[in-house]
Amino acid sequence: MSNLSRRKFIIAAGTTAAGTLLAHGCSSGSNNTSSSPSPSGSSASPTPAVNISPGDAPEVTTAKLGFIALTDSAPLIIAQEKGLFAKYGMKDVQVTKQASWPVTRDNLELGSDKGGIDGAHILSPMPYQMTLGTITKGNQPVPMNIVARLNTNGQAISLSKKYLDLKVGTDSAPLKAALANQKIAITFPGGTHDLWMRYWLAAGGIDPNTDVSVIPVPPPQMVANMKSGSMEAFCVGEPWPAQLVTQKVGYTALVTGELWKDHPEKALTLRADWVEKNPKAAKAITMAVLEAQQWCDKPENKDEMCNIISQDKWLKVPVADIIGRAKGQIDYGTGRVEAASPLLMKFWADNASYPYKSHDAWFITENIRWGYMPATTDIKATVDKVNREDIWKAAATAIGVPAAQIPATTSRGVETFFDGVKFDPEKPEEYLKGLVIKKA
């Protein structure tokens, strides 16, 4: 099985340049990121620093972290704005906006020493793709570590308003004829949005490899491309699905929590060599982000969170496009309105922050399913190499998270999807064998 090489991805992205689609070329880091101002320049109240013993002091006080303009980047933004990085000794952290997931990948490959970044808010499968070298320059492995999950839920599959009459929800089957050979957008091959879209299509009997054309588009460009008619459907995180509804360009067919309740989404990743060199700094960054996740999940903080992340230096999106769904108020644009959906984006509740190894096993298995990773990939060994839930636990303990909120096992157990299919993380090969539509 051939891996998705970096060259092939760039070529594939380039072929979608018609209309307003953007090609995802390589970046030099400094030309594709914008640095955030220091917390002292924010309207948010900085958090006082804690006393850190010399033995626990971070090896460095600086790190460069990337983010994409999505609501689920909020923990990094809030950690910066509230002075939480500084609170734990990382007073010189920079949080920089990335233009797309390929740019994030490129800058992680470079590392901060070469003008890139040390870590990022990222699609959970990408650290595995980079570690295996399936999406890196020359297919050279760039080992990464996942130190936290940033959120669960909070994504959606959206359709152009021309398909409203089909009343499509979790069952994609009515779209088979309507979407034949049409462009369907995701954010990165093998990333979470690609996997949600492919799972949904395949469950309805639509083969994403042959029946439609799946193309990559940066999250902030999704609505504009739907508006121009460059594509018929997309899967992306908030606030872009809500903005599509607000602008009456399309509608939400389903939120991804309807496919898999409380599914894992983004992760906080750091270069493995940076973690090895700076283990105390890695723990300090994780501590700050975990505290930010706790803050973000409190109902009384939702308004402030949305006002902060909506700013031009962060998401550059009207607060009205963010706040409703952040509170679980989902207008699907079809007449269906959920006033308090249990499938809202979670940052901390129900162990949303803990990076379950069982979830990463599913991400790798699905990448194998669609031909993005070799069928010979040792799933368990790869997860054990990348997933640093030990750092998460150490950070959680250090900030006083009650033992009852720290998972005792790295597996959430057997997962059941909307179509009744089950994934046993101990038997991924059985899951693969049972799937009808697949490339592997």
Give the model's confidence band at 10: pLDDT under 50 very low, under 70 low, under 90 confident, else very high.
Answer: very low
338 forms bridges with which residues in the sheet? 330
Nearest in space to 292 (alpha carbons), one of 46, 76, 89, 90 = 76
Task: Say if residues 104 and 123 touch (Cβ distance below 8 Å).
Answer: no
pLDDT (mean) for 115-121: 98
Averaged pLDDT of the chain: 91
- Residue 299 structure tokens: 């109902």
CA distance 219 to 157: 13
Q: What is the pLDDT of residues 285-312, one digit of tens each?
A: 999 999 999 999 999 999 999 999 999 9
Is it the case that residue 36 has pLDDT exceeding 50?
Answer: no
Q: Measured at the alpha carbon of residue 288, what is the angle toward residues 286 and 291, in degrees to the nearest 5?
A: 105
pLDDT (mean) for 252-259: 98
pLDDT (mean) for 176-186: 97
**Pairing status of strand 415-416 against strand 422-423:** antiparallel
Domain residue spans of the chain: 62-151+263-424, 155-258
Q: What is the pLDDT of residues 229-240, one digit of tens each?
A: 999 999 999 999
Task: Provide the pLDDT for residue 48.
Answer: 76
Is it the case that residue 4 has pLDDT exceeding 90?
Answer: no
CA distance 125 to 329: 28
CA distance 63 to 96: 11
Task: Provide the pLDDT for residue 45.
Answer: 56
Task: Provide the pLDDT for residue 412.
Answer: 98
Please check whether the two domains, 62-151+263-424 and 155-258, share a CATH topology. Answer: yes
Is it the case that residue 25 has pLDDT exceeding 90?
Answer: no
Q: Provide, rounded to the nearest whole percent, the portion of the chain with pLDDT above 70.
A: 90
Give the model's confidence band at 65: pLDDT under 50 very low, under 70 low, under 90 confident, else very high.
Answer: very high
Is it the case that residue 9 has pLDDT exceeding 80?
Answer: no
Is it the case that residue 342 has pLDDT exceeding 60?
Answer: yes
CA distance 118 to 64: 5
Task: Provide the pLDDT for residue 33.
Answer: 41
Give Cα separations from 184 to 107, 213, 225, 232 (angstroms).
Answer: 27, 6, 11, 6
CATH architecture of 155-258: 3-Layer(aba) Sandwich (3.40)
pTM score of the predicted model: 0.90
Higher pLDDT: 38 or 71? It is 71
pLDDT (mean) for 144-152: 99
Which CATH fold topology does 62-151+263-424 show? D-Maltodextrin-Binding Protein; domain 2 (3.40.190)
Is it the case that residue 3 has pLDDT exceeding 80?
Answer: no
In SS3 terms, the chain reads as: CCCCCHHHHHHHHHCCCCCCCCCCCCCCCCCCEEECCCHHHCCCCCCCCCCCCHHHCCCCCEEEEEECCCHHHHHHHHHHHCCHHHHCCCCEEEEEEECCHHHHHHHHHHCHHHCCCCEEEEECCHHHHHHHCCCCHHHCCCCEEEEEECCECCEEEEEEHHHHHHCCCCCCHHHCCCCCCCEEEECCCCCHHHHHHHHHHHHCCCCCCCCCEEEECCHHHHHHHHHHCCCCEEEEECCHHHHHHHCCCEEEEEEHHHCCCCCECEEEEEEHHHHHHCHHHHHHHHHHHHHHHHHHCCHHHHHHHHHHHCCCCCCCCCCHHHHHHHCCCEECCCCCEECCCCCCCECCHHHCCCCCHHHHHHHHHHHHHCCCCCCCCCHHHHHHHHECHHHHHHHHHHCCCCHHHCCCCCCCCCEECCCCCEECCCCHHHHHHHCCCCCC
CA distance 47 to 39: 10
Q: Provide, rounded to the nearest whole percent, the portion of the chain with pLDDT above 90.
A: 87
